[in-house]
Amino acid sequence: MKPRPCLLNFALLVMLFVLSGPSAFTQPPRSTEDLFISDNPVGRTGGNLVVSLRSEPKTLNPVTSTDVSSREVIAQLTSDMIHINRSSQRTEPAIAKAWKVSANGLQYRLELRHGLRFSDGSAFDADDVVFSFKVYLDEHVHSPQRDTLIVAGKPIVVRKLDQYTISVELSQPYAAAERLFDSVAILPRRLLEPAYNDGKLDQAWGLGTPPQLIAGLGPFRLKSYVPGQSLTLERNPYYWKVDKAGNRLPYLNELTYVFVANADAEAIRFQAGDTDIINRLNADDYSVLEKDEHAGSFHLQDIGSSLEFNFLFFNLNSSLPSQLVRKQIWFRDARFRQAVSLAIDRNAMVRVVYRGRGTPLWTPVTPANNLWVDTSIPHPARSVEDAKKILISAGFVWNAEGVLLDKSNSPVEFTIITSASNAQRVKMATMIQSDLKDLGIQVQVVSLDFHSVLDRIFQTHDYEAAVLGLGAGDVDPSAEMNVWMSSGNDHVWDLGEPHPSTPWEAEIDRLMEEQLSATKRRKRKALYDRVQEILAEQAPIICLASPDILVGAKNEIENFKPAALDPHTLWNSPELFLSSGGSL
């Protein structure tokens, strides 16, 4: 009974061994290619890098993938036309080497790089771009990317002008138009058109697909996949970036992802030296690794605040279970929300939850977003006295035992729900519970599994208050439309209202619409600042804290430039190299 599984694994290992033949030689740059010249220090070719993924990627199909792990791998296999530089947070040319905007802001003319090849060696031209956008925009494919390519209710129109020129038309001027193209992977028409014509595109490029059938314009290409264990990429010999010395990037021979079960396991594997880079450490594990930092062969970096904001919000939905209507009278009172906000000790939260490696928040725009954050928002310190004054002005009183009573003399108490699998948010809720005791408010913390939390927030509206976190994918306010617009999908505290229910919500709607079509950045900033001010005044969500981005890498890795935007570490994978030149 024992030998059988052993043999099977053995066979698997042998197969892996056979599959991994000699790696492809890098193609020397040819004069016919328009290559991107990286301005980073010149490195040495060779070596393998091993990084961990918190869960297994589910697919390698850029059209259908939604989960973080899959998208992280796909980002290494593919390229987009215009890319957001993760470090500068601004757009830069990728496959499109230049672009022009028409005077009315409705038409973009993108010039593609000449002579590029996909990682299987086949040629790339405008037809591939047109095909890619046809796929993303096809309603029957249901690509999650489609939604980002719809501007003012109308899909963008992509046309081929000649073999290396593309025109993109919008129905209305769009401030963040260039940013639309980021992470929209260009697909090889030759490989995917048959599947698309058969209506089976969503099943193409699964993890079981043979590597030679998957190709992209990214720095790496698929080499092998071992279910449950690892996925190995090898250098794309046709990649379109070179360094200053004219060497074709990437420097690394291989990039291997190992799958681990959770964040702690990631830290353990990094500490043991099994992996070379760790992407999103939490503060607890950081404190453990810190002790090994001097002895070990790695260094850790706290690169400051992330874009994730955690917040407390009350159920303000108009359709909700009848037993909650009584409590909603408190929640709807902005003064009640402000008092709660004032009674929360955010600095202690950063200390306890993030071990000091985080930022207290009074606005959803975190300091990481230095282009858009409104620095004039006040940061009032915790004050139970001030909170009590506000509550008195709103008609609340305390009884002899110090319990807060509302106008009808019933005690003020509510329940906060939060996801049990997120220890940090459970901690935040527990601290809020303890903080609000000082106001005479009895709070219960109920931690549920994540899907139950989502179901209550999005479907049944059966909750009183919740702690949740959102991480913006981009710094631009256009990425947040669905959160702040009163009709947005992620307007979590009050979903599905056809009309804004208060004047200030109407104002936010107007400001957000306006900034979207304004083209001057200064104008947009002023509008978005006003949105942040209204949010701080009305406190529909009570912002709590944002974790810092904590990363680590082996000392041998050069050009390591972690950034606030996702993916924090491997975004410049083509430029990473090992000082030893060999494998780690």
Partner 1 sequence: MKLNRTIMVLLLAAGALHIFALCAGFLAPYDFAQQNRDLLYVPPSRLHFNDPQGRWHLRPAICGLAELPNSPGTYAEDRSRCLPVRFLVRGSEYKFLGIFHCSRHLFGVDPPARMFLLGSDGYGRDVLSRLLYGGQLSLFCGSLATILSLSIGVLLGVSAGYYGGWFDAVVMRCAELFLALPWIYLLLAIRAFLPLHISAGRMFFLLFAVIGFVGWARPARLIRGVALSGKERGYLLAARGFGGSDLYLMKRHLLPQASSILVTQAGLLAPQYILAEVTLSFLGLGVGEPVPSWGNMLATLLQYDVLVSYWWMWAPGLLLIPVFLVYHALGNALQESADCRVYSQ
Partner 2 sequence: MRYLGFRLLQSIFLLLGVSLLSFIFVEAAPGNYFDEMRLNPRITNETVAQLRQDYGLNQTLPIRYVHWLSSVSRGELGFSFAYDSPVAPLLWSRARNTLLLTGSSIAMAWLVALPWGILSAAKRKAWIDHASSVIMAILLAAPDVLLALGLLLFAARTRLLPVGGLASLATKSGMWPEVRDVAVHLFGPVLILVLISLPTLVRHVRAAMIEAIDSPCVHAARAHGIPRSRILCRHALPLALNPLISLFALSLGSLLSASLLVEVVMSWPGLGPLLLDAILARDVYVIIGSVMIASLFLIGGMLLGDVLLFLVDPRIRTEGLA
Q: Which partner from the list partner 1, partner 2, none does 525 bind, CB cut-off 5 to 8 Å by kind?
A: none
Judge contact between 82 and 94, C-beta under 8 A: yes
Contacted by 202, from partner 1, partner 2, none: CB < 5 to 8 Å by type: partner 2
Main-chain phi, psi angles of 376, to 5 degrees: -85, 0
Binding mask of the shown chain, residues 163 to 202, with x at each position contacting partner 2 by CB under 8 A: ---------------------------------------x
Q: What span, in angstroms and rounded, lies between the C-alpha atoms of 242 and 219?
A: 11
Q: Is 449 in the site for partner 2 (CB under 8 A)?
A: yes
| Minimum distance, C-beta of residue 229 to partner 2, in the bound complex (Å) | 4
- Using rule CB under 8 A, residue 328 touches partner 1: no
Quick check: 446 binds partner 1 (CB under 8 A)? yes
Residue 446 binds which entry of partner 2, partner 1, none, with Cβ cut-offs from 5 to 8 Å by kind?
Answer: partner 1
Q: What is the DSSP string of 453-489?
A: HHIIIIII---SEEEEEEE-SSSSGGGGHHHHSTT-T
Q: Binding to partner 1 by residue 302, rule CB under 8 A?
A: no
Considering the complex, what minimum distance in angstroms separates the CB of residue 533 from partner 2?
A: 21
Q: What is the amino acid identity at position 273?
A: G
- The backbone torsions φ and ψ at residue 263, rounded to the nearest 5 degrees and listed phi first, read -60, -40
Q: Which candidate, 117, 96, 218, 80, places its Cα nearest to that of 161?
A: 96
Taking CB under 8 A as the binding criterion, the range among 164-172, 217-225, 349-357, 549-557 that sits at the site for partner 1 is: 349-357
Nearer to partner 1, 92 or 264 (CB): 264
Determine the distance from the C-alpha atom of residue 128 to the mean position of all C-alpha atoms in its chain, rounded to a whole number: 27
Residue 548 binding partner 1, by CB under 8 A: no
Asked if 447 is part of the footprint of partner 1 (rule: CB under 8 A), the reply reads yes
Residue 100's binding partner, choosing from partner 2, partner 1, none, with beta-carbon cut-off 5 to 8 A by kind? none
Which of residues 252, 260, 320, 445 is near partner 1 by CB under 8 A? 445
Residue 313: phi and psi, rounded to 5, are: -140, 155
Q: Are strands 404-405 and 397-398 parallel, antiparallel or unpaired?
A: antiparallel
Give the CA dihedral 5, 7, 10, 11, nearest 10 degrees: -110
**Best CA proximity match to 474, nearest among 181, 170, 186, 99:** 181
Write the interaction track for partner 2 spanning residues 41-80; mark x where CB under 8 A is met and - where it is not: -------x-x----xx-xx-x--x-xx-------------
Residue 109: strand pairing partners = 100, 167
Angle at 137 between CA 217 and CA 221, to 5 degrees: 20
Q: Judged by CB under 8 A, how many residues of this single chain contact partner 2?
A: 73
Find which of partner 1, partner 2, none residue 144 binds, CB within 5 to 8 Å per kind: partner 2
The minimum distance between CB 342 and partner 1, in angstroms, equals 18
The binding track of 211-240 with respect to partner 2, each residue x by CB under 8 A or -, is ---------------xxxxx----------
**Residue-wise burial string across 336-360, b where 16 or more C-beta atoms lie within 10 A, e elsewhere:** bbbbbbbbbbbeebbbebbbebbbb
Per CB under 8 A, 23 contacts partner 2: no
Residue 260, binding choice from partner 1, partner 2, none, Cβ under 5 to 8 Å by partner class: partner 2
What is the gyration radius of the CA atoms in the chain, in angstroms?
26
Report 268-307 residues binding partner 2 (CB under 8 A).
268-269, 271-272, 274
Smaller CB separation from partner 2, 9 or 102: 9
Asked whether the beta carbons of 48 and 233 are under 8 A apart, the reply is: no
Quote the least distance from Cβ 553 to partner 1, whole Å. Answer: 19
For residue 319, the minimal CB distance to partner 1 (Å) is 17
Q: How far is the CB of 531 from partner 2 (least distance, A)?
A: 15
Quote the strand ranges of 236-351, DSSP E.
Answer: 241-242, 254-259, 277-281, 298-305, 308-314
403 contact, one of partner 1, partner 2, none, CB 5-8 Å limit per kind: none
Of 301, 421, 557, nearest to 55 by C-alpha is 421
Residue 448 sits in the site that holds partner 1 (CB under 8 A):
yes
Among 182, 345, 505, 509, binds partner 1 (CB under 8 A): 345
Tokens representing residue 99 in the block:
């672009």
Contact 364, 311 (CB under 8 A): yes
Q: Closest CB to partner 2 among 66 and 102?
A: 66
| CB 20 to partner 2: min, Å | 8
Instruction: State the Cα angle at 21 between 79 and 185, rounded to 5°.
Output: 10
The letter for the amino acid at 187 is: L
The footprint of partner 1 (CB under 8 A) covers 264, 267-268, 284-285, 287-288, 345, 348, 351-352, 355-356, 415, 417, 420-421, 423, 426-427, 429-431, 433-434, 444-449, 451-452, 455, 460, 462-464
